[in-house]
A = this chain, B = another copy of it.
């Protein structure tokens, strides 16, 4: 089959890691008889440099015309990059928020997974993390505080800034359904996270999630307050299967959970809407400090391509092939710098490789 993939290489290490993911996709194409056509789409800092804005209407149209979009990373160093002197709506991240909204990408899946080969990188004690940790954060991505009305004004000579957090029952219902559906394919447990002891939006969240839960009697289900959840992710992360939560809580908790695995360079994500379309990107950032050096870890982006095959193209066999190749390359001892053993840890049979080598070795194992 033929698939049209929009590609947002973006800024920083983005172009380097995306090019390895394309290499692997092409290998999959050869082996399984598919064709991937790529259309480069400008977003982020590179779009600001070229067009003055982080995302043009043409870029949105190109993304819409694709079957799915694969993204590297956008943005730079907020302290030193000239992009961060611009007005907020002209900065790189504004492009990403705009694209999420334009494509209605309300369901953000963020797996947090511990590779046993990398367990030495996990900051938690071995007896706490054990030898398995595999959870999924389902974050609502187009509502809440990040998309509410906001304004800054002078009230009686005092600067006052306001953001608003709004959720409708429909926004909550559709993400909740996705959360329970994903849980059915996993260990069948949903933890819905809110701050219902204080917020109206959280009380509506809780009510609707409870209604949805009734349709999934095979899935066990609990509520947890967000402050407690931030604790439990450190204290006993293995208790979680699927965390279902709103936009901002999901932003904070997914970053915390990714760090519990110790290897953010390994973590992919998918942002989905009601169709088969999706935007796939690594969980990590643009890492401007190592951009252009050819040493970034491309695995998260390669695994994001695997998620694209699975969720947008229904190519499960092909997605499995990528994920197995990644497991093999780790078992064979290949590591980029970010996942190398620390001084003092066992390093027998471990070989340090660069970005392109990692892509090649994964490709060879497909």
Binding site for B on A (CB under 8 A): 78, 88, 91, 93, 97, 122-128, 145-146, 148, 150-152, 155, 158-170, 195, 197-201, 203-205, 208, 223, 225-228, 230-235, 248-249, 251-256, 258-260, 264, 342
Contacts and interface: CB of A to CB of B under 8 A. Distances in A.
A273 B126 CA distance: 43
A304 to B, nearest CB: 18
Contacts of A145: 145, 165, 198-199
B259 A234 contact: yes
In the A-B complex, list the 4 residue pairs whose CB atoms are closest, starting with the nearest.
A161-B204, A150-B200, A230-B256, A231-B259
Given A159-B168, A163-B200, A201-B161, A255 B235 contact: no
Contacts of A162: 148, 164-166, 200-201
Contacts of A256: 230-231, 233-234, 256
Given A125-B125, A164-B165, A151 B200 contact: yes
A163 B201 contact: yes
Contact of A168 (B160, B165, B258, B259): B160
Contacts of A163: 164-165, 199-201
B146 A198 contact: yes
Nearest to A88: B203
Contacts of A228: 255
A259 B124 CA distance: 12
Contacts of A203: 88, 152, 161
- Best-buried of A125, A170, A234 by chain B (most CB within 10 Å): A234
A158 B170 contact: yes
Nearest to A228: B255
16 contacts: A125-B126, A145-B198, A150-B199, A158-B170, A160-B169, A161-B199, A162-B164, A162-B200, A195-B251, A226-B251, A227-B252, A230-B255, A231-B255, A231-B259, A234-B259, A249-B252
Contacts of A232: 259
Contacts of A125: 122-126
B234 A204 contact: no
